[in-house]
């Protein structure tokens, strides 16, 4: 754990620090946040895939003091960097999903259109990839920590189209 004894969270945050402006890293954080930049099947509006970066930037403006737990921030929090490959996959498959939704909204048969059949297949494969990615990343994090004996890793599978 980083020695936070001399760190003053009341000062202006260093933009090079991690979430809440804390000078922690993955190795010494008690809580590791895993961003999942995915909005392929978001039903209303886009932008959620880029939320982790926005949260990180905004978190530097948050006062970490909590009257009920004044030293809670000493535990160490760390937000992992967004996986750019996953973000790009989300961007591409979001466009495919939008085309597919527009197509079926007009009552068209997917089986009659090879392009739409391919889009549907790619979106569903992407969602499977996402589930595996989340599972593998959380599993690896839990296995690294001494707390892994008391926690179980589970994944929630998004609904296929």
- CB burial of residue 11 (10 Å; 0-12, 13-18, 19+): exposed
- Residue 75 DSSP class: G
pLDDT (tens place) for every residue of the chain, 161 residues total: 456 777 777 777 888 889 998 888 888 888 899 999 999 988 778 888 999 999 999 999 988 888 898 888 888 889 999 999 999 999 999 999 999 999 999 998 999 999 999 999 999 999 999 999 999 999 999 888 755 444 443 344 444 44
Q: Which is nearest to 141 in space by CA: 80, 52, 84?
A: 80
CA distance linking residue 65 with residue 16, whole number of Å: 21
Which ranges of the chain does DSSP label H, i.e. alpha helix?
A: 51-59, 84-105, 114-144
pTM for the model: 0.80
| CA 29 and chain centroid, separation | 17
Tell me the C-alpha to C-alpha distance, in Å, between residue 136 and each of 49, 110, 128, 133: 19, 33, 12, 5
Tell me the C-alpha to C-alpha distance, in Å, between residue 157 and each of 29, 80, 125, 130, 154: 28, 22, 12, 9, 10
Domain boundaries, the chain: 19-150
């Amino acid at each position: 754990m980083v020695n936070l004894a001399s760190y003053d969270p009341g000062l202006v945050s260093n933009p090079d620090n991690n979430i809440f402006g804390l000078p922690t890293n993955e190795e010494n954080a008690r809580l590791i946040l895993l961003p999942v930049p995915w909005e392929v099947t978001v039903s209303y509006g886009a932008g959620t895939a880029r939320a982790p970066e926005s949260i990180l930037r905004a978190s530097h403006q948050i006062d970490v003091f909590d009257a009920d737990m004044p030293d809670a921030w000493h535990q160490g929090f760390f937000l992992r960097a967004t996986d750019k490959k996953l973000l790009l996959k989300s961007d591409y498959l979001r466009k495919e999903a939008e085309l597919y939704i527009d197509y079926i909204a007009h009552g068209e048969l997917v089986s009659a259109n090879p392009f739409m059949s391919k889009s549907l297949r790619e979106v569903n494969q992407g969602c499977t990839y996402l589930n595996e990615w989340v599972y593998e990343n959380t599993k690896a994090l839990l296995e690294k920590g001494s707390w892994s004996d008391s926690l179980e890793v589970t994944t929630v599978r998004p609904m296929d189209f």
